[in-house]
Chain A
Amino acid sequence: MSTLKPVLSRTFQLILVLWAVVTILFLMFRLMPGNPLAAYIDPTFTLEQQEALIRQFGLDESLLRQYFTYLGNLLQGELGYSFRYRTPVAERIWLLLPNTLILTFSSLIVAYIFGILAGAWLAWRRASRAEAFALPIVLATRAMPEFWLGMVLLAIFSFSLGIFPAGGTRSAGTEYESLWSLYTSADFLSHLALPMLTLAIYSQGLPLLLMRSNMLDVMKEDFVTMAKVKGLSPYTIVIKHGARNALLPVMTSFAISVGYQLQGNVVVESVFSWPGLGRELVSAVSASDYPLAQGAFLMIAVVVILMNLIADLLYTFLDPRISHA
């Protein structure tokens, strides 16, 4: 299989990058000012708890030994105990990850559907008044601070108009039997609406601009001209040949956007009190809950790196010039 090799070499590269990021994370939290034990131990822990953690993370040993212990623990999914919640960090992270992923993917899917259609349309109407009007607006949406957009939407749709709730994932006092029934409830979706819209408005610019400029390029290709010479229908020419080819790099950018979005989530989750990884990271850092902060950072980094890999592989699989080499 000719496609196996790039997959393997990229995967190997991913492992290297992951290792490097994990090492940076270790150094970041170990070299910070203050007590070296502070990365895992809170003074309010009981003595037995403290001793157990010192043993588990080798905190009384040399930095190098600690590093290997840290790597070993990571491989077993062992991230320590949250100072504030007194629960394993991993447990907390797994609880929050779905919320972050739901927010990220729903907003990006909306952003991409809109961006692709609008981008293709703007390419079609190039040099028109619609374009002169739309392009600066699109550029301006990319220049907005996401959290500010969130604040504005929150003020208008929640506080002024009262259409959507102000934050969180569910109304006070509601209980659901399972996560699934929570995620599919109208209550959850109405809580999702504003943060999702915020991130979608912010993210649509990239697919829109990419799609537009790709379409403009593709429509000048020989095969598009030949499709016209063949007398094919405008739909076939614009959609099947034009858009299909222009879409390729846009699809790849989706995976990269997931990575970027995850980072941007940090602020938007904070504005909407959305219980996700980003907000958790911020509150953990503020509260000096270092194990939890490390865990959240690590999880975000893993998704970012994974998405970079997927972007590469997507390209490999979507482009027959590479997949059928």
Chain B
Amino acid sequence: MLETTVPEGPVIRIFRAMKLPVGDNFAMAGLIIYVIFALTAIFAPVLAPYEPTEILYTVDYDLASDLLPGQEGHILGTTSLGRDIFSQIVFGARAALLVGLTAAFMVAFIGTIVGLISGYYGGWVDTILMRLADVAFGIPFLPFVIVISAFLEPSIWNTVIAMALVLWRDTARVIRSQVLTLRSRGYVEAARVSGSSDFKIILRHIAPNIVPLSLLYGSIAIGWAILTEASISFLGFGDPNSISWGFMLQDAFASQALSRQAYHWFIPPGLAIIFVVSAGFFISRGYENLLFPKLGR
């Protein structure tokens, strides 16, 4: 293998610290999907031919309902209320991106902080935090999110907060055990003895080794969050003001799309979800191979 030394700019160095799994095929596919997804979300108003909730009419002023893909220029057809499915899919990317990123950030953030404190300080702090994690493992995730979303006013934020309140547990446990191994290493011990402050030690010696793990769990959480938001919307507890893929599926289900065999209506949102969520899985797989390399995989 050839090794070339290219002078590294700061961007490259940051990327290197995050250990992005650029060498892994799975992970690269995932990253590319993410980029497409993010661009779709950002440029949704440009890409979508119609407003997602706009009720459309045909040239002869009939309701443009239940059009099949291709009819009247609708790429994916229309819903039974005469809304353009393709435009809804495009705008759905916004909701998904918003939910995915905020939830992933919160999960990774809370989980990392809890794991760091728990692992670094040990003792009763650790005991309490880990018992809390046990409790979080005892809470049925989806029912909890449903109840919270239903009781508070339905909004994307409440759904995200409800998810974060439960999902931090996995990240916290993993980060904690990683911190425990790091803490037992010589240089952390040495820094302690030489009187470095805890804050400094965590920042200098521990955090850099933990960033990739946090990112791994964050990338897993993106998928979970999108799936959960879809379920919540499907059950009718979602944000009524946002067009999400889960909302589209609920709309289709409630409008008898199944019995009317309107496959063009309910297949695309599902595929969109699969596409984006598997991208998260691919990336996390790449990360795992990178962080926990095992020969022969």
- Asked if residues B246 and A155 are in contact (CB atoms below 8 Å), the reply is no
B138 cross-chain contacts in A, Cβ below 8 A: 17-18, 20-21, 301, 304-305, 308
- Asked if residues B134 and A266 are in contact (CB atoms below 8 Å), the reply is no
A169 to chain B, nearest CB (A): 19
A262 cross-chain contacts in B, Cβ below 8 A: 140
- Asked if residues A21 and B135 are in contact (CB atoms below 8 Å), the reply is yes
Q: B-side binding surface: helix, strand, loop or mixed?
A: helix
Complex partner residue of A139 from B135, B230, B278, B294, CB under 8 angstroms: B278
- Asked if residues A300 and B140 are in contact (CB atoms below 8 Å), the reply is yes
B233 to chain A, nearest CB (A): 10
A68 to chain B, nearest CB (A): 20
A283 to chain B, nearest CB (A): 10
- Asked if residues A216 and B261 are in contact (CB atoms below 8 Å), the reply is no
Complex partner residue of B147 from A148, A149, A217, A285, CB under 8 angstroms: A285
Indicate if A192 sits at the interface (CB-CB under 8 A). no
Number of residues in A with C-beta < 8 Å to the partner?
Answer: 55
Indicate if A152 sits at the interface (CB-CB under 8 A). yes
Size range of the chain B interface in the assembly? 35 or more
- Asked if residues B140 and A301 are in contact (CB atoms below 8 Å), the reply is yes
B277 cross-chain contacts in A, Cβ below 8 A: 143-144
Indicate if B266 sits at the interface (CB-CB under 8 A). yes
- Asked if residues B150 and A263 are in contact (CB atoms below 8 Å), the reply is no
Complex partner residue of A301 from B139, B151, B296, CB under 8 angstroms: B139
Indicate if B146 sits at the interface (CB-CB under 8 A). yes
A322 to B47, CA, bound (A): 59
Indicate if B253 sits at the interface (CB-CB under 8 A). yes
Interface residues of A in 228-260 (CB under 8 A from B): 259
A28 to B146, CA, bound (A): 12
Indicate if A154 sits at the interface (CB-CB under 8 A). yes
Interface residues of A in 190-209 (CB under 8 A from B): none
Proximity bits, B151-163, A CB within 8 Å = 1, else 0 = 1100000000000
Indicate if A271 sits at the interface (CB-CB under 8 A). yes
- Asked if residues B282 and A139 are in contact (CB atoms below 8 Å), the reply is yes
- Asked if residues A266 and B297 are in contact (CB atoms below 8 Å), the reply is no
- Asked if residues B135 and A20 are in contact (CB atoms below 8 Å), the reply is yes
A13 nearest in chain B by CB position = B134
Proximity bits, A282-325, B CB within 8 Å = 1, else 0 = 10011000000100110011001100100000000000000000
- Asked if residues A148 and B269 are in contact (CB atoms below 8 Å), the reply is yes
Indicate if A79 sits at the interface (CB-CB under 8 A). no
Q: A145-B231, A152-B270 are in contact. Are A297 and B140 (CB under 8 A)?
A: yes
B135 nearest in chain A by CB position = A20
- Asked if residues A143 and B281 are in contact (CB atoms below 8 Å), the reply is yes
Complex partner residue of A32 from B146, B151, B270, CB under 8 angstroms: B151
B144 to chain A, nearest CB (A): 8
Complex partner residue of B266 from A21, A155, A282, CB under 8 angstroms: A155
Question: Which residues in A have some Cβ–Cβ distance to B below 8 Å?
Answer: 13, 16-18, 20-21, 24, 28, 32-33, 126, 136, 139-140, 142-149, 151-152, 154-155, 158-160, 166, 213, 216-217, 220, 259, 262-264, 266-267, 270-271, 278, 281-282, 285-286, 293, 296-297, 300-301, 304-305, 308
